[in-house]
Structures are given as structure tokens and as C-alpha cells.
């Protein structure tokens, strides 16, 4: 927060009362945003103590950390505040004039759909659209409802990047589904970037994220926490037990 008028948010109630206009133009630190996620039970990182349980991801892999952006994004004001924070960082990375040239934001399903819309609003990007999951194969995406004209600069938005899978799948689906070539700008906007080993970007595009953190995920047979006797739990259904919050 800006020096002098330090307004660290202390409680969930304070956070939910935060006004987007009140923090407009103020760069909020990664540490502070990370604390907001904690206040909303939207993030968890393992303590290192094998007596504490660890996370079992949807993929079946074990992990020492977990983020659920929907627990933050469901609050409309917070979604706008985070979108504004991302706009400020994109502006620094690309320059204001390049950001203003972007014609489209694209959100991947599900959580990034509304967030990409908020980023478009905050950054004055005129159009926003989203991909959808292929009903025949939920790991695949479809781009079929809208045709983006050739040359239009397109900014991809993700709420959470763990591996390159979704990021690359969005690119593949759009390149295959659009009638003419897609002009992706060399940046991807994200709320959380949490790869096992920090990388700057994917396929020549740099990730601009509000939170960047290394979180590992490994098959259960390679999991150091399983080996030490730590219990593995699915975060979505065992949040209280996993985080030790009651
Ligand atoms: Zn494990």
C-alpha cells in the first residue's frame, strides 16, 4: 500500500467492505493479496510438519499447497479490485499505449470467465469472450461462438496457472477454432501463478501474476509427505481439516 496511509486489511469483514474506488490506482503488494486469500480460506500452504495433512489434487497428485480463486472471485468487489491490480501490473510490463491497443480479453472456463470480463472493464479493453470445455473431453477446450478478426491483439487471462496445460490448450483451441490467425500479445494475465518450478512464461508469452509461488505436485508414489506418514486430503471437501481451521 502507499506509504503514509497504510491500510492493511485485518479481518474478513474489512476485506469484504473494501471499496474498489478507494484503492483505485494504489498498487497493493503480493504479500497483502496473499493475506486476503488467507482471510477467505482461499489458499493454504503445508507447514512442513509431516503430522499435518497435505493436499490431494483433482489430478490425483499430492501437493504442498492449494489455491481456490473462486473463494475470492465470488465477491464482485474483490474481483474488480484484483482485476484493477492486474491492469496496473500489465500497464507496467507492456506500457500504457500497448495495453490500450488490446482488442480482446479471453478467459478460460470456469473461474477466469468473469475475471477476464473484469480485467477488460478495468483496462478499457473493448471486447471479452471465453472458451468452453469440450463436453466430449473436459480436458479439451472449444472456441466456436465468435470469430476474432485478423490482427486484433488478444490478451489471455487465467485465474490460476499451475502447469502449461490450460494455457497451451486455450491457445490451441483458439488457433484451431478461429477462421483466421490469432494475434496473442506476448503476455498472459493471471491472479495466481504457482508452478512447481518458477518459469517466466509459456510459449513465448510472459506471465504477469498477482501472486507467484512455487508449489510442487507429484504422483503419490513420489510424494515426500506421504512417505513421512502425512495424510492426504482432497482440499475442496476437507478444507477445515487440511488447514487446521475450525
Ligand atoms: Zn502425498
CA distances from 128 to 108, 121, 151 (A): 11, 9, 16
Written as nine digits, the cell of 149 is 478478426
pLDDT over 90, % of the chain: 77
Q: Domains along the chain? A: 76-215 (3.40.50.2020)
Query: Coil, helix or strand for 134?
Result: strand
What pLDDT does residue 246 have?
A: 53
- Ligand 1 geometric centre to CA of 55 (Å): 7
- 110 DSSP 8-state letter: T
Bridge pairing between strands 127-130 and 104-107: parallel
- Ligand 1 geometric centre to CA of 159 (Å): 25
- Ligand 1 geometric centre to CA of 123 (Å): 41
- Ligand 1 geometric centre to CA of 139 (Å): 23
- Ligand 1 geometric centre to CA of 35 (Å): 26
Answer yes or no: are the C-beta atoms of 208 and 190 closer than 8 Å. Answer: yes
Bridge pairing between strands 62-63 and 217-218: antiparallel
- Ligand 1 geometric centre to CA of 50 (Å): 10
Rounded to whole angstroms, the Cα distance separating 124 from 87 reads: 9
Rounded to whole angstroms, the Cα distance separating 217 from 92 reads: 31
Q: What is the pLDDT of residues 11-51, one digit of tens each?
A: 999 999 999 999 999 999 999 999 999 999 999 888 889 99
- Ligand 1 geometric centre to CA of 233 (Å): 9
pTM for this entry: 0.87
- Ligand 1 geometric centre to CA of 60 (Å): 9
How high does pLDDT run on average in the chain? 92
Say yes or no to pLDDT of 107 above 90. yes
What pLDDT does residue 196 have?
A: 85
What pLDDT does residue 203 have?
A: 85
Rounded to whole angstroms, the Cα distance separating 132 from 67 reads: 22
Rounded to whole angstroms, the Cα distance separating 208 from 225 reads: 31
pLDDT band at 3 (very low <50, low <70, confident <90, very high): very low
- Ligand 1 geometric centre to CA of 224 (Å): 7
How many residues are recorded in the chain? 246
Rounded to whole angstroms, the Cα distance separating 40 from 24 reads: 22
Beta bridge partners of 56: 62
Q: Determine the average pLDDT of the residues in 73-86.
A: 98
- Ligand 1 geometric centre to CA of 34 (Å): 24
Bridge pairing between strands 183-193 and 153-161: parallel
- Cα 35 versus chain centre, distance: 16
- Ligand 1 geometric centre to CA of 54 (Å): 7
- Ligand 1 geometric centre to CA of 218 (Å): 8
Q: Name the nearest CA neighbour of 32 among 49, 46, 18.
A: 18
Beta bridge partners of 155: 105
Answer yes or no: are the C-beta atoms of 53 and 235 closer than 8 Å. Answer: no
Query: Coil, helix or strand for 201?
Result: strand
Amino acid at each position: 500500500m502507499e506509504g503514509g496511509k497504510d491500510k492493511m486489511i485485518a479481518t474478513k469483514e474489512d476485506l469484504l467492505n473494501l471499496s474498489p474506488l478507494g484503492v483505485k490506482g494504489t498498487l497493493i503488494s503480493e504479500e497483502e493479496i496473499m493475506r486476503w486469500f488467507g482471510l477467505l480460506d482461499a489458499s493454504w500452504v503445508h507447514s512442513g510438519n509431516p503430522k499435518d495433512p497435505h493436499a490431494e489434487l483433482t489430478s490425483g497428485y499430492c501437493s504442498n499447497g492449494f489455491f481456490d480463486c473462486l473463494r475470492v472471485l465470488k465477491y464482485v468487489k474483490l474481483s474488480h479490485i484484483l482485476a484493477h491490480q492486474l491492469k496496473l501490473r500489465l500497464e507496467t510490463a507492456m506500457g500504457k499505449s500497448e495495453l490500450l491497443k488490446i482488442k480482446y480479453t479471453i478467459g478460460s472456463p470456469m473461474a477466469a470467465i468473469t475475471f477476464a470480463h473484469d480485467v477488460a472493464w478495468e483496462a478499457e479493453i473493448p471486447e471479452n469472450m471465453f472458451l468452453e470445455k469440450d463436453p466430449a473431453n473436459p480436458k479439451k477446450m472449444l472456441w466456436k461462438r465468435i470469430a476474432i478478426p485478423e490482427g486484433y491483439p488478444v490478451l489471455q487471462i487465467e485465474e490460476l496457472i499451475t502447469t502449461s496445460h490450460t494455457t497451451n490448450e486455450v491457445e490451441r483451441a483458439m488457433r484451431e477454432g478461429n477462421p483466421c490467425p490469432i494475434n496473442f500479445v506476448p503476455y498472459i494475465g493471471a491472479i495466481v501463478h504457482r508452478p512447481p518450478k518458477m518459469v517466466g512464461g509459456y510459449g513465448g508469452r510472459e506471465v504477469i501474476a498477482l501472486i507467484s509461488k512455487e508449489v510442487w505436485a507429484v504422483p503419490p508414489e513420489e510424494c515426500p509427505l506421504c512417505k513421512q506418514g502425512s495424510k492426504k486430503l482432497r482440499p475442496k471437501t476437507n478444507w477445515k481439516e487440511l488447514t487446521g481451521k475450525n
